[in-house]
Structure 1
Amino acid sequence: MTDTTLSIVAVGDVSDRALESTADAVRTTLDVTPEISSRRIPKDELESAYDSSRERYEAVEAIEVLWNRIRADRWLVVTSVDLTHRRKNYVFGLALIDDGKAVLSTHRLGDEDDPALTDRVRKEAIKQVGRLFGARECDTEQCVFRATPTVGQLDRSGTEPCQECRTQLESIQDREQTAPDRDRDSEVSAPDAVPDVPSTAGGLDDGTATERNHGRSSHDSGVLGHELASIGRFWGSVLGFGISVVIGYFLLSTVGGLLLGTVELTEPLLFGSAVVNLALAWVIFRRLRTVPGRILEHVGR
């Protein structure tokens, strides 16, 4: 991969250990050049993103609040606040893929004296930053990009991308490297170093306010795209599992009819058939849901 600068900014009570672990993880695993901001944003700045009914902060709204506070094309916020998103009870992090903005929460990853904290922060940092560079959710058991909604699953996941994901990331970076000169000129015009982040919203100067208005359209479309993608994935999963149940039912009926012939359908037999059908449907669903991603990957090449 080519080196790409990433700004890392702390929000709230985040330890130097967490920030340094984040920077080292993306540097060594993703070949990204991280720059840790010397200024910290107090968590009070995220007040408008706070969901009092859940006592957590909405991840997308937190990114919205910080959108024009951090003057960099790509950035990762590391925060101590607890995050949630839509129907999820909590999330460890979230990335707006098309916009180069991501957030990572250390709230549920362990206390400072927990020896597992560093490893968990590293995995989540690689996952969120990898998303910014085009990585997709992976089904490989030991891939760092595997879905890990709980701390236990996060601990059992790998610390490196699988070969398929690494190849995909390298391919995306190669395409970026061969982009037209005008695109590269635009990237060069961005700040090379992470500028100081103002401590309060009122401290923003006119130049920053102008940049905020200029980038608002792109920002809104990015957030809308992320929300639509989330809705699409949810209903796609519901529909996909429903289709898998139907396929599993016909397979089970066909095989059962051939093996057992005509039998009386007692309650235990019906219950057992339902359990087997659901298990079979889950296997079929896990196989089918990887197909669209692979098709899109080949189309994009």
Structure 2
Amino acid sequence: MNRISWRKTPYEILAIVILLVSLAGCSPAIKTGSGSPSILTQSVSVFSNGKEASQKVTVTLTFDRAITIVGNVDNQLAVKLNGKSVDTKTMAWHAAADKNNREKLICTLSALPSDTDPMQGRYFAVYEGSLVITAKNGASVAAITDSSRKYAAKWAKVHVQIPSGVTVVPVSSENGSVSAPAQVTVRVTSTGVIRAMTWVQFLQNGQPVMQKDYKKGSFSYTNDGSFPIHDHQLFQMNKEDYAKEIASGLESYFGKGTPTAGEYSFITNKDTVMVKANASTDGEILSLCIFNHPDS
């Protein structure tokens, strides 16, 4: 009985490989259509357990229908942190389906196990915290489809402002009158969670006190008139430390040598910050909050 030999010459093997690649290329590409998933909402959260290597940013994208992952999503997305590619020496990026909700995609930016604090070597930090996620082809991501695997997901630019974890809440406020100046007091209710700038917004009658032509050194107007505070000693800082940093920032950006010099006083008392107008203006309302959304 004759035996069939499966031994092939290098040339025959090469021909088979070329044929297989050619046939794979003939399969129809997944395109968008009436059944394409689209992003409905986006949210961002941060986490750490007090250690450098535990820091994580999670961006949750909710689609208008169930999604299926059919390829490498990471390879089809372009991720920019403060306008630059993610530093793979200090952090890792990954996108995956939510195991508990088929309509959600979970994107994470995580510290590496080797990350240490800034005084000892490489470390995780998102700095200004502006994160932009776009599709490399500009309009869709073929690695994400509807549940039938027929339609590719449509992709609009995702832009989130990564929070530091610092929060403040109003304690008291007094509107200005003809005889009394406006003032507001806030309390720091949580400290930083990850290495990120905390953007603080100072408002008068609901509008940023900082004007759009504002410049101070290398800093210029951004994030709806917010100013940044830094926390180099992140895991050692308490609420009182952050209150002092906020007051110091207010003095730096709105005090001596600025367009609003002499108009306001900034006072700290333990974990609270008070802003008080130095002149009485009837109907004036002051407020102080943490900015956590990107410019449009």
Short-chain TM bin: under 0.3
Normalized per residue, the structure richer in helix is 1
TM-score by length of 1: 0.22
TM-score by length of 2: 0.22
Tell me which structure has the larger Cα radius of gyration: 2
Normalized per residue, the structure richer in strand is 2
